[in-house]
Amino acid sequence: MKHKHNARFNEEEFLDAAFEKRNKYTSHKWDDRDREEPQRDGKVYEKGFNCAQCGFSVTTSREQSGVNNRNHCPRCVWSKHVDEIKAGDRKADCKSRMQPIGLTLKQTPKRYNHEAVGELMLIHRCTGCGKLSINRIAADDDAGMIYQVFNRSMALTVKWKELLKNEGIRLLGSTDLTVVYSQLFGWQSILEEFEPHGLSVDETSLIPFEPESELVSVK
């Protein structure tokens, strides 16, 4: 594949809760107060925020991102722990950074007794309290960076894979490469990999069967 990255997953970075506690209120603050839209119908609507990881100025516009409640940065795809119970509630007190540690699939309804392949979802883990969160990929997210997250997740230890499994989250691995690659870059990008070698590719054969019991359900 064209997108190859050798970056290793840094477990220590998101395990260092003490570091997070010292820095979560001072490093690239979440500028909600400075970037709120005027109140409408008694509610305050966010216009954007500065990424707590890289400092990038992020818009929360649904027209641009394609999602209703945006927490993660489109450039580095790190997030921030601002939601507590449901997406968009902004009731979390933690406010720590959330590191993208892997990808999973959203469960989709059965059709004609066949399980459809769901959309890619980002798995985030809070660097402060350890909470796991599954989030939709936004339309303007950096596909190359998400692919790096997928590659780095291969280096996760058995300990972390078991943790995800116990939480009912199916971490995508090497056998899911074609699903990940096609959803991020399109089927044509996969076909182009084979054309120089004169190989014919049956697109349906590239989609691995996903057992229902292994798919994570996301409301």
Provide mean pLDDT across the span 127-142. Answer: 91
Residue 78 has pLDDT above 90, yes or no: yes
Of 89, 87, 94, 128, nearest to 219 (Cα)? 87
Higher pLDDT, 107 or 195: 107
Domain assignment of residue 157, yes or no: yes
- Domain membership of residue 179 (yes or no) is yes
Cα separation, 104 vs 150, in Å, equals 9
Angstrom distance (rounded) from CA 14 to CA 54: 15
- State residue 144's pLDDT score: 95
Whether residue 202 lies inside any domain: the answer is yes
Determine, yes or no, domain membership for 6.
Answer: no
* DSSP summary character for residue 100: E
pLDDT at 83: 78
Q: Evaluate if residue 101 carries a pLDDT over 80.
A: yes
Please say whether the beta carbons of 187 and 195 come within 8 A.
no
Which domain does 107 fall in, by range? 11-214
pLDDT single digits (tens) 33-59: 434 444 444 455 557 789 989 988 887
User: What's the mean pLDDT in 105-132?
Assistant: 81
Calpha distance 133→114 (Å, rounded): 27
The reported pTM is: 0.66
Residue 67 forms part of a structural domain: yes
User: 71-80, 102-111, 118-127: lowest mean pLDDT where?
Assistant: 102-111
Burial of 95 (C-beta count, 10 Å sphere; 0-12/13-18/19+): middle
Identify whether 2 is part of a domain: no
Mean pLDDT computed over 124-128: 93
Residue 59 host element (H or E) = strand 57-59
Q: Over the chain, what is the mean pLDDT?
A: 73
Based on the structure, what is the number of domains in the chain?
Answer: 1
> Is residue 135, in this structure, part of any structural domain at all?
yes
Of 23-32, 131-140, 142-151, the range with the lowest mean pLDDT is 23-32
Q: Select the more confidently predicted residue: 67 or 159.
A: 159
